[in-house]
Structure formats: C-alpha cells, structure tokens
Amino acid sequence: MKIATWNVNGLRARIDYIRLWLEDRQPDVVGLQELKVTDELFPHDVFEELGYKAVTHGQKSWNGVAVLSRVPVEWIESGLPGQSEYGARLIRARVGTDGDSVDFTTLYCPNGKNTDHDDFPRKLEWFDALREWAAGFIRAEESVLLCGDFNIVPTGLDSWNEEEFHGSIFHTEDERSRMRSIIELGLSDLYRELQPREQAFSWWDYRGGAFHRKRGLRIDFLLGSKRIVERLKSVEIDRDFRKKKDGLTASDHAPVIAVLDEA
C-alpha cells in the first residue's frame, strides 16, 4: 500500500496540480491538509474520476483535512476532541481491507505564528490534547498511522538554519517536547527510520527563492506504530512536486510518501 501526506495549500487552487500528482505517483491513500474549502464545495467528482473516494473535514477559508483512498475507506471521526473551535484539523479513517488495513489519521497542526503570539500557548495545548487523544488507540501490534503538517521542526537537522532559528517558532523546546511526547506513545518518524542522518525538507517558503536556495524545514511527517515500521518498504519526500508543473503553481509543501507491505 502506497500512502502519503500532503499540505496542498488550497485544494481548489491546487486541483489540477493534485490531479497530475495522483496520476503520476498512484498513491493508494493520501492525507491532505490546508484544504481551505467547505465540505459542501469539496470537488468529489474530480477525485472519483481518478478512482478515489474522499472523506472530508473542511471549513471555509482556512484549515481543512481529508483522506483520499482508492482502497476501501471507512470514516471514523473528525475533529480533535475539545479543540474543535481551533479549526478543522483532524480526520481519522480505516483504510484498506482486512489484514491489510491501517488506522489512518491526518492532521493539520496549529502554526502558532510566533512565540509571543496568543496562538503559541494555544498550539501547545492543542498538542497536549492530541497526545491524550492518540494515547487512546495507539497499539504496537496494530497498524496505526498519524500523518500531516505538524508545524514543528523536531531536531536541528530538520531546519536549514537551526543556529539562527533555535528557540523561535517551530524550533522551540516547548514544541519539540510535545512532538517527542507524541512519538513516545509508540510511533516512529518513518522518514527518519530509513534516513537517520539525511537533511531533507518538506516545506519551503514561497518567498525569496527559498526552494532553490535549499532553505526549507521538515515539518510534514508520517508517524507509524511498530506494526507499520515492520511493514515499511520505502519513504520519500517528493520534492519534485514542489516545482511548477505545466505552468501550475505547486504547494509550498512537498508530499511525503511511504510504501507498506501487506500486513
């Protein structure tokens, strides 16, 4: 099963680009973030044409998450309990068939803006709520996956400029300890599992030619349970799809893709 996470930065603006990617990469399951569209306006027809069913948790203007799947998909829940006022940021579904299924959650975690902003302590609270929620169903022997845009740079290696940004937004110990506490529930960062020392990024600012200057951050993750790690065949950050394609503008995030063996 080929699974992926991708912050698309506006589903409607990106729809033709997403179509190119799906046709080229042929993923089975995709967690999408930053849809910026309501469920009513979600373009199910486009995805159905390509063989995908979508379960969605959207809202007007901001946030919004969805799971696309061309294998059987069953919606489980939407929204992080107690945090629904902070935007449509979580959707969970079971994907695949018996014996090959994954408990699949995709997340658009709060940005926090900067460490002086009111959103920063709120971001930390959101992560505390996420840990408490995820603790309820993560089991080593089950295939559980949390993926998405975490808006945290977990270690210095994951930043293009840790020296300058250490202690600022995405790079604080307060955020990093939250990230570790999620991992410590029994999850692995699948990219790091196979690439322990490689510096690679999943997001580059649109401004200032950041992509071409290799000024990025790794903030998009596939986090898998022990059972997922046992099934893991390959992981890739699909940076080719951070580039313009046929005159179409890319998201500021690249997809992250993993291939899993059958259970």
Strands 53-57 and 216-217: unpaired
54 binds DNA (CB under 7 A): no
Q: How many residues bind DNA (CB under 7 A)?
A: 20
For residue 203, the minimal CB distance to DNA (Å) is: 9
Nearer to DNA, 114 or 234 (CB): 114
Nearer to DNA, 22 or 185 (CB): 22
Q: Does 61 bind DNA (CB under 7 A)?
A: yes
3-state SS record for 36-72: CCCCCCCCHHHHHHCCCEEEEECCCCCCCEEEEECCC
Residue identified by tokens 């930053």 is 34
Is 246 a residue that touches DNA (CB under 7 A)? Answer: no
Rounded distance between C-alpha atoms, residue 20 and residue 245, angstroms: 8
Is 149 noted as a catalytic residue in this protein? Answer: yes
Question: Which range touches DNA (CB under 7 A), out of 24-32, 72-80, 174-182, 204-212?
Answer: 204-212
Q: Rounded to an integer, what distance in angstroms lies between the CA atom of residue 131 and that of residue 225?
A: 14
Which strand ranges, in their side-by-side order, compose the sheet holding 188-189? 73-78, 90-95, 102-108, 144-149, 220-224, 188-189
Kindly tell me which residue out of 51, 82, 121, 209 binds DNA, with binding defined by CB under 7 A.
209
Selecting among 17, 108, 189, 252, the annotated active-site residue is 108
Residues in the chain, overall count: 263
**Given the rule CB under 7 A, which residues bind DNA?**
9-14, 36-37, 60-62, 110-111, 113, 119, 206-209, 249
